Amino acid sequence: MLQARNGRSFTRVRRRRRRLADPKDVLVSGPGHGPECDPLPLLEKEISQCRVATVPGLKLPPLTGGAIGYVGYDCVRYFEPKTARPMKDILCIPESLFMLFDTIVAFDHFFQVIKVITYLRVPDGDADIEKLYREAELVLQKMIQKLLDPKVPMPPQPPIKPDQVYTSNIGQTGYEGHVHRLKEHIGKGDIFQTVPSQRLARPTTLHPFNLFRHLRSVNPSPYLFYIDCADFQIVGASPELLVKKEADRIITHPIAGTVPRGKTPEEDEKLAEELRNSLKDRAEHVMLVDLARNDVNRVCDPATTQVDRLMVVEKFSHVQHLVSQVSGVLRPEKTRFDAFRSIFPAGTVSGAPKVRAMQLIAELEGEKRGVYAGAVGYFGYNCSSLDGKEIIDGAMDTCIALRTMVLKDNVAYLQAGGGIVFDSDPYDDKLDLTYTLLYLLLFIIRLLPSSSSLSTSSFIFSIYYADILLIPTPYLYISLSALWLGNLVITPTSLTQPLFFCVRDVNTQNFNIHRSRDFPPGIFINEYLLVFLFRFFFSPSYSVCSAESAEKTSSPASLLSVTQRVLAWHVRSSGPTT
């Protein structure tokens, strides 16, 4: 499952024990899995065999069929041989993997519309077109039946062991040592900037798709993905576009410079202003923008290459980034695959100058990065005019594999890095890295079931740190904003407009309920949300009050204390209960 910046999801997952669509073919590369070579020529050959007629007036998503998968960071040794050197392979997964699909389920979250698309492959020579068309219709009908089937079980979830700990491949001392050595190279003029990383591993029995569902709820990002590769899964929420093709234009988004979100709108804007004025972040960002311009110029007409946006602060669920956009018109003799090679890997995960920075990364880390810092995305089938005379490159949209987990053999592998420049503080960079890694670990920890299970004569519920999508409707979902605010949001799902806002009065400690339409817009855009699932049946009428008054209430109720302070809520049904 891929969900891109435009809000569309392209689905191909083992979802709830069943596949919506099986790939027509799977292309893999890497030692022990497939050919040890550049994976793009074979992918380009396979995709070019299918040409999709462009039908005027037919509104379809960018991806209607093609290859979905990833190119691991270590494939750079095929694009730039100077970076090749022997590396340990800890994860033992393919260097690249792409699945070819003729059937796609596209979910437009903005318009709440699902489109099911399949291809009619017409062979050369005589063929019974009407028979092939009926077969394609049958594929669509079966797919729609699967989507409409209400009796689909949830993904299996074995018992969870909450006492698991994580291990690092280099540890704090090792990472700080890498920073010191790289700063020495920067001082000598070998490089200007680079991005060392470390990997954490944590045993877990969580179902990978449950992890993805939680991730997309608590960390909405421009690129969300879940890829089931049979013996391992990839789960990620990346903020950064690597390279995208729109018509004949190539686009890339350098990101460098990070601060957390504020607890209040005022603090949020203060942190954003500090980011805009940070000399270190601005200097690092300008270097990466220049690197992106050089990469784009290698395949685009230099006269068309431009910086569309420069150092704009974009707000994400938990952090704020400095973001720029560089684009150019692809030269006629170049293809989207040439553009991918030119920009891969992004300077934000390698450094500048890119080749020397990657050489130093390989020397210090000594292990394959795998999916991390590579690319996840799709390459669509080529298009043609109705008369077949004009062939057009298909769509391409890829993101950098950041904030990404690989789950294999009941172990979750998390990897993150931080940009190093001349005036970097090893301790500060360690903090940036630790923040990213621990944030990913929280996705696992928050999915552990709570020991709290309270019941009364009318309500029985358990609390889970879990996502709230695709659960049957008789559930009430409450998102608790940052604990020090004590505000509540009541919403039927994580992606719909909240029904109510419950705001704690700082003087009386009471929760005052507001309907969504009566609440000032934008005031509740606070991304530090802990998501709770309250499993009980409810009527559409609620009352919310303080802990003190809840103790005096005689009606059936359950009270949960969320902190050691007197900060609690009481939900009471004013109508009949089930």
* CA 487 to chain centroid: 27
Quote the distance between the C-alpha of residue 227 and its chain's center: 11
Among residues 285, 321, 446, 570, which one is catalytic?
321
According to DSSP, the residues that pair with 315 across neighbouring strands are 320
Active site residue 264: no
Tell which residue, 94, 44, 84, has the closest CA to residue 340.
Answer: 44
372: annotated active-site residue? yes
403 noted as active-site residue? yes
Mapping DSSP onto H, E and C, the string for 224-239 reads EEEEECCCCEEEEEEC
Tell me the C-alpha to C-alpha distance, in Å, between residue 400 and each of 223, 377, 416.
9, 9, 12
Residues 6+ apart with CB under 8 A from 496: none
Which among 419, 446, 486, 570 is annotated as catalytic? 419
Distance CA 539, CA 542 (A): 8
From the list 70, 119, 175, 372, the catalytic residue is 372
Catalytic option among 348, 398, 404, 491? 348
Residue spans of alpha helices (H) in 334-469? 336-343, 354-365, 426-445
C-alpha to C-alpha distance for 560 and 268, rounded to whole angstroms: 30
**Catalytic status, residue 214:** no
If you ran DSSP here, which 8-state letter would residue 161 be given? Answer: -
243: which residues sit within 8 A by CB, 6+ positions away? Answer: 250, 251, 252, 339, 340, 343, 344, 375, 396, 398
Q: Which of 341, 403, 504, 570 is catalytic?
A: 403
Tokens of 57: 């007036």
With a CB cutoff of 8 Å and minimum separation 6, the contacts of 575 are 539, 540, 541
Closest Cα to residue 374, out of 407, 398, 408, 396? 398
Alpha-carbon distance values, 519 to 98, 178, 315, 452, 501 (Å): 46, 50, 22, 32, 7
Task: Please say if 439 is a catalytic residue.
Answer: no
Cα torsion at 265, 417, 443, 206 (round to 10°)?
170
Point out the residues that are catalytic. Answer: 321, 348, 372, 403, 419
